Amino acid sequence: MKDYFNPLFTLIIVGGMAWCCATQGGISSSQQEAWVLSLCVVGVLVNGALALARAFTRQLSMGVVVWAAVYFVLGCCAWTMRSIPPGIEQAIYDAQRQSADQADPLATDAEGESLFTRAASLGKVRDVEHILNTASPTTDQIARAALRAAENNHTAVLKALAGAGLSASALVDGVPLLHAAAQNGACEAMDWLILSGARPDARDASGSTALIQATLSGSLPAVRLLVKRGANPKLRDEDGKRASDYARTSEMNELLTPAS
């Protein structure tokens, strides 16, 4: 196997690919990821070509050809990863960030989003901290960034915003942060908010509770977490319905029914 398979070289390649997939962005990480992915592609293809050459010149077993094919497939996967364009929100964020030194990171666009809120939405903790330290956002701007972080389950961002004065019970346009997290099944963010002082039974402007929102989202883990943290299934919304009335599965209904 050593004639056509280099474990150390392959480990380096796979490790580089994993790093590119797992890294959470701070500022200017995209170029680094592109370079590492390109290196992975070249390394995989070269290793595959060498394995294939040895298969023909030394007339080794069919296994050599199989390993060569594996290397080529890995190379194609790595190239595909490198070629996939970023999501729309990530692309907008990158475009805004390129002019961050000249533009106001707190200025909102036509969608009501700013570099600050997009950084929070994408979990860019270092960028959020940088804006907190340099731009001095208002309490309302911090709350709006927290709403986006709660929706996307970025607890680290919420912690950074809490250090700048964020209240876990903050409302944004009548919506508690806990409700925003519950609507998206963001369990880690929900748990952090409750442990930081958010009331599990707080209501939004329409009288709905976080438990009702979690049930509407169909997230069983979110419902289970809220019940564990003391949310009351008996509370009704403005339509007179309890959370159990919105249950989509028997398991969720059983979880909500005993206390009702």
1.10.3470, 1.25.40, 1.20.120, 1.10.150: CATH of 88-166: 1.25.40
Question: Strand, coil or helix: what is 209?
Answer: strand
pLDDT tens column, 135-171: 889 999 999 999 999 999 999 999 999 999 999 999 9
Mean pLDDT of 236-260: 85
CATH number for the region 167-260 comes to 1.25.40.20
Mean pLDDT of 231-240: 92
The rounded percent of the chain whose pLDDT value lies above 70 is 59
- How many angstroms separate the first and last alpha carbons of the chain? 64
Q: How much is the pLDDT for 4?
A: 45
Q: How much is the pLDDT for 230?
A: 92
Domain ranges of the chain: 7-83, 88-166, 167-260
Q: What does pTM read for this prediction?
A: 0.64
Asked whether the domain spanning 167-260 has the same topology as the one spanning 88-166, the reply is: yes
Are the beta carbons of 113 and 90 closer than 8 angstroms?
no
CA atoms within 13 A on the CB side of 191: 12
Neighbours of 167 (CB within 10 A): 17
Are the beta carbons of 146 and 170 closer than 8 angstroms?
yes
Q: How much is the pLDDT for 15?
A: 61
Burial class (CB within 10 angstroms; exposed 0-12, middle 13-18, buried 19+) of 42: middle
Q: How much is the pLDDT for 205?
A: 87
